[in-house]
Structure 1
Amino acid sequence: MAPRAAGLNSEHERGLLASAARLWTGSYAPDYVGFLALLVAYILMEFFLEPFHRMFFINDLAISFPHAEHERVPVAMEFVYSLFVPLAIIIIALIRRPSLHKYHVTILGFAIALILTSFLTDFVKNAVGRPRPDLVDRCKPAPGTSRDVLVTIEVCTETRHHVLHDGWRSFPSGHSSFAFAGLGYLSLFLAGQLRLFVLGGGRGEQADGKAIYARGDLGRALICLVPLIGAAMIAISRCQDYRHDVYDVCTGALLGWVVAYWNYRRYWPKLSSSHCDEPYPGPHGAGVSGNEAPGYGRLRDEEERVGLSQNAR
């Protein structure tokens, strides 16, 4: 009896492992696990890590700008502009052609773009430890501090922990990267839904499923440009507040845009595709619209590929 029971247990365990493997490869489980891992890592970094404190000269004019207590775009408003506004527009835009799969992958890609950008930005901020343009004003060096030698954080008299330590988190700009991740993703989404780079906005211009390049009308182009202008204004405000210089802001903007594009293309075809307004099919063909353009979508296992080929027939 014992060997038989052991065999049954072994078969049961193999069945559970096979089910778990199918769930992992046949769903968006890896995306959600990755999202949660990034979220936990970001929270831990925010609460427990301090930046590398570079030495500095207290007479360095590049870091001697006044510290603005009131920012033009506070953190709360950054979330409104770069998270909630794009999310609301995406939801409203999808109402005209409702699809659970479309809602799912659009919002999932948007969320991953934001959390990945936030994680990468803060990781680099803490590792580099570049002084902000207002560091000296934040630091409030003790009287008698030598002006012509490199000093450390030990000369600072500022008692507010966050205000002081945040003075070494200049590179790259978090506002810029977050804005271009959220609003940049929205711009890509709108360009796809409005078929900005598809000739005449029609489908099937070529037999191979590729669209012909042509200039989209100015109206649609401006709609897609508005989010990027908004992101640029948020980035510029960081220079106006002396929180960052142009180098910080441009690097943050590039980081946010690259992450936004990378995440968008994981779920959507390229913008020149004749099917750019439809996401890649989900696991087991969920959301299949009849065609699937090649791109950065998740690789499917043999069962999924067979199922999709049968559906196509």
Structure 2
Amino acid sequence: MKGCIKKETVPPFLTAQVIGDVIIWLAIGLPALVLYIMGTPYKAGFFCDDTSLKYPYKQNTISDALLSGVAFGLTIMMLLIVEVLNIFEKENKRHRCLTQGPFTCLKGFGIFLFGFVITQIFTEVLKNAVGRLRPNFFDLCRPDFSRIDCSQGYITNYTCTNDEHSASTLRNSRQSFPSGHAVFSVFTSMYLVLYIQKRLHISYSHFLKPTIQAALVLLSVLCSVSRITDHMHHSSDVIAGIGIGFVVACSVFYSLGTKFLNDQEPKKVSTDEDIEENSTPVLNGHQTPVPLLHNTFSLIGQPNSFSSKCADRS
């Protein structure tokens, strides 16, 4: 059908291209994983009367494992739902333009994975470089104030005395900025919002698409807010995480998604264009444009004038 995307074929360099992209993905993802597990944050100090660090320690409402499982599972589910809805849409069935990419879901998830490692490397580098203390730092660390001269103001020489928590938990108490939950949840929701906006084309409801998008945004907001109520992050940490997730989602989608998730609408050809195209004469096996014939006749005269001139000469 004219105006539709050409049927996808596997290019000869696809295998090499995939291998190269996987290598790049690992080159970014492995350092982020190492920083997440073994990163050493900058040892920031504190003021003894800093009330923003005196919140009690609470368990996470949304753990790292739960966030990862929901984000990856929700992404896979939404990509599949969007493409299935496109297949059963009558208008898409008629044109066959929006549903003929068999690897659309796979490509969409691959772009999501690339954005995921970008968010993680940003998050882990900033967490370790800034070393900001969490709101529950005093409760987790329990520095021995009897050995600290608070009159010095900003205290950098201190030792944590709390042995109820693991070393990784104490290390994590100095990685407040930015909020990793906010970064990942906002990135996931914004990526899916943009994917749905570009790929989902249905005619039987005007409200289904914005309702799904609003629900995704609401989930990310609730996840981000829980980090404040759990005393795991300061408000500025969450705001920074929201900004990073939003920027990475938009950057990754508009740099890669608009290229690899093409969904051009079928080109509508007007009736006049159809008539002109279908009425193109064929001379000696070659198509001759109608305007060219008109110009030719205007130069040599009309056929009737040919006949009259020949009659006069005879």
- Cα distance in 1 for partners of 2:51, 2:151 equals 12
The offset of 1:249, in angstroms, is 0.4
In the TM superposition, 1:102-141 aligns within 5 A as 102-141=104-143
Q: 1:64 aligns with which of 16, 41, 54?
A: 54
- Cα distance in 1 for partners of 2:241, 2:100 equals 34
The answer to whether the 8 Å contact 1:53/1:153 transfers is: no
The offset of 1:80, in angstroms, is 2.4
Between structure 1 and structure 2, the one with the greater Rg is 2
The answer to whether the 8 Å contact 2:111/2:257 transfers is: no
Q: 1:249 aligns with which of 238, 263, 272?
A: 238
Gaps (5+ residues) in structure 2?
1-11, 88-98, 268-314
Q: CA RMSD in A?
A: 2.9
AA matched with 2:261: P
The offset of 1:45, in angstroms, is 1.6
SS in structure 2 opposite 1:268? helix
AA matched with 1:147: C
Q: 1:188 to 1:222 in 2, by over 3 A?
A: same
SS in structure 2 opposite 1:46? helix
Q: 1:241 to 1:148 in 2, by over 3 A?
A: farther
**2:69 equivalent in structure 1:** 80
**2:303 equivalent in structure 1:** none
The answer to whether the 8 Å contact 2:183/2:241 transfers is: yes
The offset of 1:26, in angstroms, is 7.9
The offset of 1:167, in angstroms, is 1.2
Structure 1 residues 145-176: Cα deviation after superposition (integer angstroms, max 9, x where no partner): 33343333632112321121111111110000
The offset of 1:246, in angstroms, is 1.4
AA matched with 1:279: L
Q: 1:148 to 1:242 in 2, by over 3 A?
A: farther
SS in structure 2 opposite 1:155? coil
SS in structure 1 opposite 2:41? coil
**1:279 equivalent in structure 2:** 261
AA matched with 1:35: W
Matched, 1:50 2:40: yes
Q: 1:162 to 1:147 in 2, by over 3 A?
A: same
The answer to whether the 8 Å contact 2:82/2:200 transfers is: no
**1:101 equivalent in structure 2:** 103
- Cα distance in 2 for partners of 1:121, 1:223 equals 27
**1:92 equivalent in structure 2:** 81
SS in structure 2 opposite 1:34? helix
The offset of 1:289, in angstroms, is 8.5
The offset of 1:252, in angstroms, is 0.3
**1:204 equivalent in structure 2:** none
**1:303 equivalent in structure 2:** none
The answer to whether the 8 Å contact 2:53/2:136 transfers is: yes
Structure 1 residues 6-59: Cα deviation after superposition (integer angstroms, max 9, x where no partner): xxxxxxxxxxxxxxxx94998344432221111111122223321001011232
Q: 1:135 to 1:98 in 2, by over 3 A?
A: farther
The answer to whether the 8 Å contact 2:144/2:158 transfers is: no
Matched, 1:147 2:147: no
Q: TM-score, normalised by structure 1?
A: 0.68
The answer to whether the 8 Å contact 2:115/2:252 transfers is: yes
The answer to whether the 8 Å contact 1:23/1:29 transfers is: no
Structure 1 residues 257-289: Cα deviation after superposition (integer angstroms, max 9, x where no partner): 11111111223339xxxxxxx8149xxxxxx99
Provide the aligned length of Structure 1 versus Structure 2: 239
- Cα distance in 1 for partners of 2:173, 2:35 equals 17
The offset of 1:104, in angstroms, is 2.6
**2:171 equivalent in structure 1:** 165
The answer to whether the 8 Å contact 1:58/1:136 transfers is: no
AA matched with 1:254: G
SS in structure 2 opposite 1:247? helix
Structure 1 residues 175-212: Cα deviation after superposition (integer angstroms, max 9, x where no partner): 0001011122111111112359xxxx7xxxxxxxxxxx
Matched, 1:225 2:206: no
**1:180 equivalent in structure 2:** 186
Task: Work out the percentage of aligned pairs sharing the same amino acid.
Answer: 22
Q: TM-score, normalised by structure 2?
A: 0.68
- Cα distance in 2 for partners of 1:103, 1:171 equals 33
The offset of 1:222, in angstroms, is 2.0
Gaps (5+ residues) in structure 1?
1-21, 202-215, 271-277, 282-287, 292-313
